[in-house]
Every structure is written in structure tokens, then in C-alpha cells.
Amino acid sequence: MADMPPQLIDVLVVGAGPAGIAAACEAAEVGRSVVVLDDNPDVGGQIWRGGRRLAASPSAAAWFERLAASGAVVHAGSAVVDVLPGPVVVTRHGERIDRWQPRVIILATGARERFLPFPGWTLPGVVGAGGLQALVKQGLDVAGKRIVLAGSGPLLLAVGALPVKKGANVLAIAEQAPLGRLAAFAGTLLAQPSKLMQAFAIRRTIGNVLRPGTFPERVQADARGLVVSLVSGPAGRQRRDDVGCDLLACGFGLVPNLELPRALGCAIDGGRVAIDPLGRTSVVGIWAAGECTGVGGIDKSLIEGQIAGLAAVGHHDRATRLLSAARRAGRFARALDRTFALDPRFAKLADDATIVCRCEDVVAGRLRCHTNWREAKLLTRIGMGPCQGRVCGPAAEVLFGWSPDDVRPPFTPTRLSEIA
């Protein structure tokens, strides 16, 4: 890779979700050369998955059209594999390796689902909530299927509505946040009518299946499918309800994607990229926007992307005029954090035989004797499989209080022949 001349550009945007799209539009529309990278086959990120072909809303379609007209060059299907001094960002597109040397970098790396281990979570038929959503969008036939969703966060409701529209029977949505916190969160939506209308529309679609203060304790398989043990109520007065289903979809909130920000040396604060009001990170020439700076939904991602895109190319006055909208979006993000904070009981769900690292088949019993992530990684291989700790890292943080912070290239699986 070192012998390949890097391509010099003004702005490199990593991530083509709402934040990345907004940043790229603002930077390209003032005449800068902008390249957008994303490892998905189309723009849109997770929230607007499918790009222009599957634009879910007029707002998404408008942003896709604006990006296409902006002059920004999009490289979909390009994964970042390394960062060299410069910084030079190395990407893999199929079997091609590219090197980019931008004047500024805007990180819009988004977030991913957090999965928490509990007995049976690796059984066939247990999937991620976002994974179920993606599969249904891609044509998975769920008509007549009995589905249970469990975990935490607004994504559960949105995911639950989709299979219902496709003819599935959603039996329960087990939300671990208690009813009191959910009611307080609903009150914050009064100031945001569009979100409130979305919530009412989802509620009409899914019916009366939401179970607040409920989480999955274990899942087992029998001849008819899966049996999920759902636990509700405070500690000491718990109630258990066994529910039979064909599919169990779990997702315990979202965690920012921090591998690339960490590799670039950006400061991390509270599990998110630390930025100033204009999106600057702790590293000169690097900005960040969207879910990697804290999970807060589309509105936060779009406004932060616009601010970062303008500020990164020197249009600070225009960026500053958007700060009041960013503060409003930030308040909503903080409300999400308060409402869907995880119950401490999740740290105790995994028994000794429960797999924590699916790539390397490392069970919880092998991890309890270790004191930190690095020690456990050296002695058990946790985090050393193809996902590079993206699944087991956040789980280990909840189970053991460890903070995985070591990032080593390649950041995604890459053939030696491609690197050579």
C-alpha cells in the first residue's frame, strides 16, 4: 500500500448516512472536491437503507437528489481498512485498494446495534432487531410468522411495525425501560409534533403488544420453534412469562462506531466522539457528526452533518446559524439516553455457559476471572474474530465494565493479496 500514490482531495466524508450526506452536500456545494465513502452498497446508511431505490420518505428522497446534484463523488461499497500517516485513509473496494489524502476528514461513521448475551441468544431464529428489519426490506417472507421483539430503544417499535405490515404476528415487544420513563419520554415528544405523529402511527400498526419494564431472560428451542422467557417487574418481585414464537429479534440500543475515530486519535468521551459545537474533534483537520457523536436520530444527524460540512470548509458563519437547531436535537438525544438507560440486571443474565464472543466461541465463564479487555483478549481470543470486537466489545462493557479501546488494522477483513 505504501507505494501507491494517494489521491489528493479537499474533503473526505466517511459514512453515507444522513449525517454524511448532509456534510457532503454542504461542502461540495461551495466548490470543494468531496469524496464520500461507505461500506454499504448504496447511500443512506442503516436508517435510509437502500438509497434512492427504497427512499422511505420525501425527506430522504430530497437529500438523495441533493447529494447527486452536489458534485460529491460517492464510493459505495468501500470499506476503510487502515490509516497511514498524513493522514492517508486506505480503503478496499472489491479487490481494489485506494488511498485518499484529504485536507479535512468528516467522520459520519454512525452507530450499530448493541447485542447482549443471555442463555440461548445464539440459537437459530434469534436475530438482531435491525437485522430483521433489513431482511424484511430485502424480501424475507414473514407472513404468518410469530415474532417477539426484545431489548430497548425506539428502534424496537419501528422494527415491530414492519413485519406486521407484511402479515406477521408480533406477539410482544419487550422494552426494558419501565413505564414511568417511557411516559416521561412521550411528554418530550409534545414539542416535536412530527415525532409524536410517527409514534402514534406505529402504535396503531403494532396494536397493544408493548410490554414496558420487560426483558428476555433466556430462550430455548422446542419442536414448535422458540420459547422466550420474558421477565417483568422490579428485582425481588419479578414475573416470568414463556412465549412461543418463530423468530426472536433483539436489540439493546445503539452504540457509536468508534474504530476509525480511535485509529485517527480522536478523543472519546462517554462512549462517543468528543466534538465542539461546530463538530471539530480533538485532532486538527478532523470533524465528526451524527450518531458517532451520540445517538440522537435523524434530525440530530442531519443538522450536525450540515454544521460539520460548512465548518470544515471554512464557512463558520453559516454553520453558527444552525447551532440553535443542533441544541434542540441534542436535548432529544439526552432524553433518549435517560429513557433507555440499561437495567443493571443485564450484567447478570449470562451464565457461565453463555457465549459472549460468537466469532471465537468464548463463554462468559472463561472471562469472569480476567480484570480487563486486553488481558481477556490475550488469554481467550475474545474480540479477535472477523467482527473485531464489534459485537462482544459492547457486551463485555455491560457484563464486566471493560472498555475495549485497542484498534488495529485492517479494520475490516481484507485479503493479503489485496493489501500486497
Residue 364 has pLDDT above 70, yes or no: yes
State pLDDT tens for residues 172-194: 999 999 999 999 988 888 777 77
Residue 420 has pLDDT above 80, yes or no: no
Q: Which amino acid is at 34?
A: V
Q: Is 124 helix (H, G, I), strand (E, B) or coil?
A: coil
Separation CA 239–CA 241 (nearest Å)? 7
Q: Which stretches within 30-113 are classed as H helix?
A: 58-70
Separation CA 30–CA 312 (nearest Å)? 11
**Pairing status of strand 272-273 against strand 254-256:** unpaired
Q: How far from 103 is each of 33, 187, 286, 313, CA to CA, in Å?
A: 10, 44, 9, 9
Q: In what order do the strands lie in the sheet with 239-245?
A: 214-222, 225-232, 239-245
Q: Where are the beta strands (DSSP E) in 46-138?
A: 73-76, 78-84, 88-93, 96-107, 111-113, 126-128
Residue 25 has pLDDT above 90, yes or no: yes
pLDDT of residue 418: 67
Q: Which amino acid is at 323?
A: L
The residue among 231, 174, 229 whose CA lies nearest residue 206 is: 174
Cell of 50: 437502500
pLDDT of residue 213: 95
Residue whose grid cell is 464472543? 357
Cell of 317: 458563519
Residue 1 has pLDDT above 50, yes or no: no
Going from the N-terminus, what domains does the chain have, and what CATH number goes with each?
7-112+255-337 (3.50.50.60), 115-252 (3.50.50.60), 347-400 (no CATH)
Residue 57 has pLDDT above 80, yes or no: no
Residue 309 has pLDDT above 70, yes or no: yes
Instruction: Write the DSSP assignment of 21-46 as a string of letters.
Output: HHHHHHHHTTT--EEEEESSSSSSTT
Which of 57-66, 342-351, 362-371, 390-399 shows the lowest mean pLDDT across its residues?
57-66
State pLDDT tens for residues 145-162: 999 999 999 889 989 999
Q: Which amino acid is at 154?
A: P
C-beta neighbour count of 26 within 10 angstroms: 29
Confidence grade of residue 203 (pLDDT, cut at 50, 70, 90)? confident
Residue whose grid cell is 481477556? 376
Residue 416 has pLDDT above 80, yes or no: no
Q: What is the mean pLDDT of the chain?
A: 91
pLDDT of residue 51: 61
pLDDT of residue 56: 61
C-beta neighbour count of 183 within 10 angstroms: 11
- What average pLDDT score do residues 352-374 get? 95
Contacts of 387 (CB under 8 A, 6+ apart): 358, 359
State pLDDT tens for residues 220-229: 998 889 999 9
- Quick one: CA dihedral 386, 390, 391, 394, positive or negative? positive
Does this model's pTM top 0.95? Answer: no
Which of 2-6, 50-54, 74-78 shows the lowest mean pLDDT across its residues?
50-54
- What average pLDDT score do residues 15-22 get? 96
- What average pLDDT score do residues 63-92 get? 93
